[in-house]
Amino acid sequence: MNARGVRWPAEWERHAATWIAWPHHEPDWPGKFAPIPWVFAEIVRALAPHETVEIVCHDESVRDAARHCIAAHGVAESGYRLHVAPTDRVWMRDSAPTVVFDDGVPTLVDWDFNAWAKYDDFAHDAQLGRVVARTTGLPRRAPMRPDGAGRVILEGGGIETDGRGTIVVTEEWLLSDAQVRNAGVDRAAYEAIFARELGCGKTIWLGEGCVGDDTHGHVDDIARFVAPGVLVLAHESDPADENHRRSADNLRRLAGTTDAAGDPIRVVTLPYPRVVVMDGQRLPASYANFYIANGVVLVPTFNDANDRVALDTLAELMPDRAVVGIHAVDLVWGLGTLHCLSQQQPAAPGARTA
C-alpha cells in the first residue's frame, strides 16, 4: 500500500466476480471458431460454483448464444450474469480495468487500450472500463501520463503482483519499443506509475516474454505469483528452443530477488508444453496463463505429457484450491488462453461472497 492508501490485491485474494466477454469475432480463430464458445462455457461451468461470472455480450444474439451454450453445460443461472455491451475481442485481462483497493474501497483503474498497437478495431474494447463501472457502481479513474500527454496505455496481462507492493513486468513489453504504447515514458516513469496507481513500490523487470506472444511480451505467459514470496516461472529446458534462452535469462534475473518487504522470492519453474503450431504460426502455449479464482485454479492444457507436471506443480503450491485443466489447443489459436480472457473483481475487505 502506498501513502495514498492504494493497494492492488493479489489474484488469490477473495473475488466478488470474474469478468469475461463472450466470443463472437471469428477472425480471432480463423477456421476454428466453432469450438470456442463451448470452451468458454466450460470455463463458466468451472467458475460458477465458486464466484459469479459476469459476461459481456456484444449484442442480443451473442447473449442468446451464450445462454444456450452455458445452459447446455448445466450451469445454474444463479452462477452468472449476461450484460449486453459491444466488444471487439474477448481479452478482458487487457481491455477491462484493474481493480485496486483505495483506502479499502474497490476502485477501477481504467488504463487506455490500443489493442496492443496491432489492430484497428478496438473502439468498443476501449470503453469496457466504463461498462464495468456502470454495471458494478464502483468508482473509476483513468491514469494520466506523467507529462500529461494523454492516458497511460497499459494492459492487465503485462502486470503481475503479490498483493504486497511488488509488481513484475517485462522490458520487452514496455521498454523495447517505446512508441508502441507510451512514447517517452521510461523505466523510472513506469515505476512511478506503478507506485502511484497500484501501490507497488517494488518493480521486478524481467527480459522477454514467450515465443509466439503478439502482445510484445506480457508477463502473464511467463511469471506468476501463487503466494506471498512464491513466483512460478515458465522455463524451457531444451536449448534448441528459443524459449530456453529467454527463460534462462529471466531465471538469472530472479536469482536473489526480494519483494517490496525485502523478503526473498522463491522461484518455482513450470515446464512449457511442446510447441503448438497452427498454419505455420507458433502459438503462445504456456501453463503460466492459469487463472486463480475462489477455491479453484484453471490451468490451460495442451494434450501434452507436461500437462500433468504443470497441474501437479500448481496443486502442490496452492493446496487450498482445486486445480482444473481446461483444454486450450483450440483456444490458443486466438493467441491467448485463460488468464488473458479473464479479469477478477476483488471483493471489498470484509464482504461476503459466494
Query: Which of 57, 69, 200, 340 is an active site residue?
Result: 340
**Residue 89 in contact with residue 77, Cβ under 8 Å?**
no
Residues in the chain: 354
Indicate the angle between helix axes 36-47 and 60-72, nearest 10 degrees: 60
C-alpha cell at 113: 487500450
Q: Give, in degrees to the nearest 5, the angle at Cα 108 between 172 and 186.
A: 30
Q: How far is CA 240 from CA 3, 83, 236, 283, in A?
A: 47, 46, 10, 17
The residue among 316, 216, 225 whose CA lies nearest residue 263 is 225
Distance, first Cα to last Cα, the chain: 27
Active site residue 200: no
**Residue 116 in contact with residue 84, Cβ under 8 Å?**
no
Cα–Cα distance measured from residue 226 to residue 90, given in angstroms and rounded to the nearest whole number = 24
* Dihedral, CA of residue 161, residue 159, residue 175 and residue 178, to nearest 10: -140
Beta-carbon count within 10 A of 49 CB? 15
List strand residue ranges (DSSP E) for the chain, in order.
6-7, 15-21, 52-57, 80-84, 98-102, 105-109, 140-141, 160-161, 166-170, 202-206, 223-227, 230-235, 266-271, 277-278, 281-282, 291-293, 296-301, 322-327, 343-346
Q: Could you give the residue numbers annotated as active site?
A: 340
